[in-house]
Chains A and B, each alone.
Chain A
Amino acid sequence: MVLMSGAKALLEALKREKVKVIFGIPGGAILPVYDELFAETDITHILMRHEQCAAHAADGYARASGEVGVCMSTSGPGATNLVTGIANAFMDSSPIVAITGQVPRALIGKDAFQEADIIGITTPITKCNFQVRSAAEIPKIVKTAFYIASTGRRGPVLIDLPRDVQTEEAQIEFNDNVELRGYKPVYDPHPLQIEKAVQILLQAERPVIVAGGGVIASNACQEVIALAELLAAPVATTLMGKGAVPENHPLSVGMLGMHGTVAANYLVQDADVLLAVGMRFSDRTTGNFKTFCPNGKIIHIDIDASEIGKNIKPYIPIVADAKRALQAIYRQLLEKFRKKERSAWLERMWELKRMHEEVVKSNDGDGIKPPALMVEIRKILPNEAIITTEVGQNQMWAALYLKVYKPRTFISSGGLGTMGFGFPAAIGAKVACPNVPVVDIAGDGSFIMTEQDLATSVAWKIPVIVIVLNNSILGMVAQWQRLFYGRRYFAVHLGGIPDFVKLAEAYGAQGIRAQSIEEFRRALKTALNSDVTTVIDVPISSEENVLPMVPPGQDLKNLMLS
């Protein structure tokens, strides 16, 4: 037991969790913690320009590194500005710990200055949240918060810290035990369920594996590949699973869903056995729930029992860590499996994959076409480069046409679909992985939502590359208006404002405009060799559609190709 202040206890507890970086913005109700940070040498605090970006940066840091990201803000508006970032991390199961200042205990509930009920507000968007009632509780709460954020199905946890708790002097004891009677994640699969899954897989004629974000989270990418090769099963991924298998692997068929590849959507619908791993059957992934994989027996592996049967009822549910479940299935299969003649099924896969390539080619023509641009970006970037995306057309073009070869190198806002996520996430990813290039594939509509943090990336010398697919329009909204609302374009025109080159320069970043593929190549190479953040403005047509597309709520085979 050591006598210290709550603020000091917080920093000591964070150091025990090996926290090296905090993304945050100070304010009145968190000042005692910032005062302790003044002399702190083991933790770097990165001053962001908006709390939303602090949360997204922590999220990007977590996804790139696999470790818990930490963000911090003051009470009230600081805390509520974190909310979008917390919700985003919650939807995509990203482990972050958010620390918010709160008004002093005696003022809680009195509608004090900068008071917000952040516990009430974040209850449905955190795995768990805590309001600290005394300084002595801090070590246990911090320990528990990191444990919950980083185990089971990962996710955000919030700690709300009243100002007078930060200044309170107390006898502090650090203890590494976490006792939670109501939280015991199941990691090991039930042997009987594994046996059943193996039986089904042995009989499969047209097997398909779908890998979700859980495969990356549980570090089960090798296991997916091994199983796919053993079974000769095509592997589709969800948006969150992109990177789980190298997309140049012969059995990789890309993303399925609303903007899935032809191959992924058709093969999943035609499968007789679907092995779904670490994914949650989101509506964007399945299309119409009722017509999803109509003749297939679905084996669903997920660490979150509540995902089993929520949207799609599986034939065989397996609640477990993806890695352990896949290893168990592989071991049993290896004993019993006789290589099957699958030439017809694989021939079908090749035929469908060629159709997808045709879509890229049909996009050739005048000006810069986004699918071709994605192929170009891939050619220039090293394989270990981290790609983040904004949300909308830019994101779907990247998901469809920019092949990813390594896990944790594709970071995108999947569940919440947060425009403005990609750029601060890129900052967080770059902090986590300073030696690899980090590129945000952006649209003009998304980038403008968080571009103020160019200031952060320049001031802190965190050089990232932002490629703005600039169509002067909210592209995905315009696409829906074009396809489903009779071209009645409304509230989508952005007027080519601002000039992104000048905007970048105003922040002390580098701005380059690329009007042709040739100029783009030069710009990206310049950016890669630069030690300052670079914004590459790439004007594209506002008439482009992301294709293929399944209209919302329809069968995955109802793909619009043109």
Chain B
Amino acid sequence: MGLEEKTYMISAIVEHKPGVLFTISNMFRRRGFNIESISVGASEQPDLARMTITIKGDESIVEQVIKQLRKIISVVKVSLLDPRVTVARELALIKVNTPDTKTRSDVINYTEIFKGHIVDVAHDSLIIEITGDEDKINAFIELMKPFGIKEIARTGIAALPRGMKSTIME
């Protein structure tokens, strides 16, 4: 449609019960929406979960995604997050090779600069926990690559709007 492709963040409050994640991911698959990440976890209410979805597409696609999400009965509320007033964070666990003391101290130094934590220490590897926005995590992973990354686990983005008035589409 000639519209600009961007990454959008959508926050959805959904019923916390079996099958909801299946229903939602099945809808994305069936409609051919291109999801970059989904994260799900508890929300402030015990029977509701919050889902953060990042999606690449143009404005008309993101509008359809939101409408299709709202149509699902177990989805209670959907908001499009405005990146200018949204806090978005991701957590990553990265296992890095550290065969000698030199690499080990380099990795620890970088981790400190990035305000990460060493959460596991073995003879020849470390696990680093790092949180931040996507760019920060990508930058840290790039930095670790030359040392040899063994494994990565990323949670996907969790996001909340700042302050009170914060969503574009209610």
Which A residues lie at the B interface, using CB under 8 A? 119-120, 123-124, 127-128, 148, 180-183, 304-306, 308-310, 313
Contacts and interface: CB of A to CB of B under 8 A. Distances in A.
B73 A180 contact: yes
Contacts of B26: 123-124
6 contacts: A182-B76, A304-B71, A305-B67, A305-B71, A306-B70, A309-B60
A310 B31 CA distance: 11
Given A123-B26, A124-B27, A182-B76, A306 B19 contact: no
A183 B72 CA distance: 8
Contacts of B14: 182
Nearest to A313: B60
Interface string B67-101: 11011111111000000000000000000000000
Contacts of A309: 60, 63-64, 67
- A interface SS class: loop
B155 interface: no
Given A123-B23, A182-B74, A182-B75, A306 B60 contact: no
Nearest to A180: B73
A51 B19 CA distance: 26
B30 A124 contact: yes
Given A120-B22, A124-B26, A306-B67, A182 B60 contact: no
A120 B14 CA distance: 18
B71 to A, nearest CB: 5
A123 B74 contact: no
- Most chain A beta carbons < 10 A, residue from B30, B67, B74, B77: B67
Given A120-B22, A305-B67, A181 B15 contact: yes
- A-B complex: 7 closest residue pairs judged by Cβ atoms: A306-B67, A182-B76, A181-B76, A128-B73, A183-B73, A182-B75, A306-B71
Contacts of A308: 67
Nearest to B47: A181
Contacts of B67: 305-306, 308-310
B93 to A, nearest CB: 31
Contact of B15 (A148, A182, A305): A182
Contacts of B74: 128, 182
A504 to B, nearest CB: 41
B19 A305 contact: no
Given A119-B19, A120-B22, A124-B26, A182 B63 contact: no
Contacts of A183: 73
Nearest to B68: A306
A308 B60 CA distance: 11
A310 B22 contact: no
Contacts of B64: 306, 309-310
Given A123-B23, A306-B67, A182 B73 contact: yes
Contacts of A124: 26-27, 30
A305 B73 contact: no
B118 to A, nearest CB: 40
A306 B70 CA distance: 8
